[in-house]
Amino acid sequence: MNFSHFCNTRNRFSRRSVVFTVASMGLALRLPAMEPKAARIRGNDRGKSLITLWLSGGPSQLETWDPHPGTSIGGPTRDISTAIGGVRIAEHFPLVAGLLDRFSIIRSLVSKEGDHERGTHLLKTGYRPDPTLMHPSLGAIVAHGIPSESLEIPSFITLGSDNFPSTGGYLGAALDPYRVFVPGLSGQNLVANVDAIRQQRRLDALDRMTHSFEQGRMESVRRTLHSHTLKEALTLMSSEQLGAFSTAEEPSAVREAYGDNPFGRGCLVARRLVETGVRSIEVSLSGFDTHANNFDGHASQAAILDPALATLVGELEQRDLLNSTVLLVIGEFGRTPSINPLAGRDHWPHGFSCLVAGSGFVRGKVIGSTDPEGIQKMPVDPVNVADLAATVLDRLGIDFSHEVTTPVGRPMKLSEGFPVKSLCFDS
């Protein structure tokens, strides 16, 4: 796997900005109403993919995957039994509870970052922020590390709004994600407002301007990725695979099962993108920064997350996609065991939870535990974020220890962690 050729540019001219520019000239993208060309890729016939459900704001472990009802820190949240014998989760997730044996739970993640932006950087990249370079997100590493030659749409896609979006980092702007802010809708300012003849005239004019600008400026042109991003945008415009972004063809029962909201539609689109061959997808759900009214806040977000997550993992399994897809459900940190005067919980990076499932992960495993009285800050069997990142890359068949030379000549490993062996079924 050769990452080095992506490290020769420091340009931040993103794919999304080029597509927007092309669209604004009337060269807009038209989403076809047909089945994506590369859909229905199943089982061993497809490369692996990563789906991250990003719970923005820092979900409380006590109101999700590690409740402690009846204790001084538990609050009003009750727990329910699950498909894993003896394992209980928060009452707000009855659908996930019935499928929890498809997952493993890490209840002992530890981090040194309790700020939203810094915590997001760490969880998405596996590295703490460094002012001297920008680390690539796991999604960007996966998008390049697992090629998909038949793919005509971007290989790294984010769905929904995210205050601190993923990037290609020092691997280059070509690996920045294609961002879709309103998942599941066709169009989204992508329908051409001119006829085909006029559109071609505009393309010809753009080609002449580009050729004129390139004279004597080839190094500048190379740094801007102009040719690369324009070619990618034009390929995207004509691809039948764009149909993967629309949920209109899905049966109404399927759409209803995921939930008629942006996150539910995002999870459905994520499944469609995996079928099409996309390597990395992030779906964001905000609303977990519950410094006040924590319990009602988590109940309302769980009503969105529970059906979408349960339906997604169920469909991935039914369609023979789960064994080739890593599914990660996580946020930037957890919430404090203590309850503040506003009935809220504050930032807590010292022992929080996530769910993992899919390719190469054991099922039905619970890693670590937290103190039900909130006295001991350090959890039992702590798992560092860097080790989680290394585990995800390893399960996807990517050499997590691979060393890259950054644009400034600095050697960097894709991950500084090591796989958590108890999560890996072949260890």
Rounded mean pLDDT of the chain?
A: 87
Domain of 216 in residue numbering reads as 4-285+300-333+350-423
* Residue 206 within any structural domain of the chain: yes
Lowest mean pLDDT among 10-19, 288-297, 352-361: 10-19
Asked if residues 281 and 273 have their Cβ atoms less than 8 Å apart, the reply is: yes
User: Does residue 169 lie within any of the structural domains?
Assistant: yes
Give the CATH number of the domain where residue 10 resides.
3.40.720
Distance CA 208, CA 229 (A): 17
**Residue 185 domain-assigned (yes or no):** yes
Contacts for 347 with CB less than 8 Å, ≥ 6 apart: 58, 114, 115, 119, 333, 335, 336
Q: Say if 211 falls within a structural domain.
A: yes
Q: Are 50 and 389 in contact (CB under 8 A)?
A: no
Report the greatest alpha carbon distance in the chain. Answer: 73
Residue 285 has phi, psi (to 5 degrees) of -130, 115
348-372: pLDDT as tens digits = 999 999 999 999 999 999 999 999 9
> Is residue 291, in this structure, part of any structural domain at all?
no
What are the DSSP E strand ranges found in 126-196? 156-159, 178-180
Distances (CA, A) of 390 to 217, 308, 340: 41, 27, 35
Helix (H, G, I), strand (E, B) or coil at 51: strand
Query: What mean pLDDT do residues 302-310 have?
Result: 98
Tens digit of each residue's pLDDT (9 = 90 or more) over 206-256: 778 777 777 767 666 666 666 666 666 666 666 788 899 999 999 999 999
**What digits encode the pLDDT tens for the residues 85-116?**
999 999 999 999 999 999 999 999 999 999 99
Per-residue confidence (pLDDT) for residue 28, from 0 to 100: 33
Residue at 194 is within a domain = yes
What per-residue confidence (pLDDT) applies to 199? 75
Q: What pLDDT sits at residue 415? A: 98
Q: Quick check: 29 pLDDT over 90?
A: no
Residue 18's pLDDT is: 37
Instruction: Compute the average pLDDT of residues 326-333.
Output: 98
Angle value at C-alpha 330, between 326 and 354, nearest 5 degrees: 85
Is the pLDDT at 308 greater than 70? The verdict is yes
Burial of 161 (0-12, 13-18, 19+ CB in 10 A): middle
**Which pTM value belongs to this model?**
0.86
Dig out the tokens for 344 from the structure.
């809220």
Domain count of the fold of the chain: 1
**Cβ pair 335, 61 in contact under 8 A:** yes
Say which amino acid occupies 130: D
Residue 306 in any domain: the answer is yes
The whole-number average pLDDT for the span 155-168 is 95
Provide mean pLDDT across the span 335-340. Answer: 98
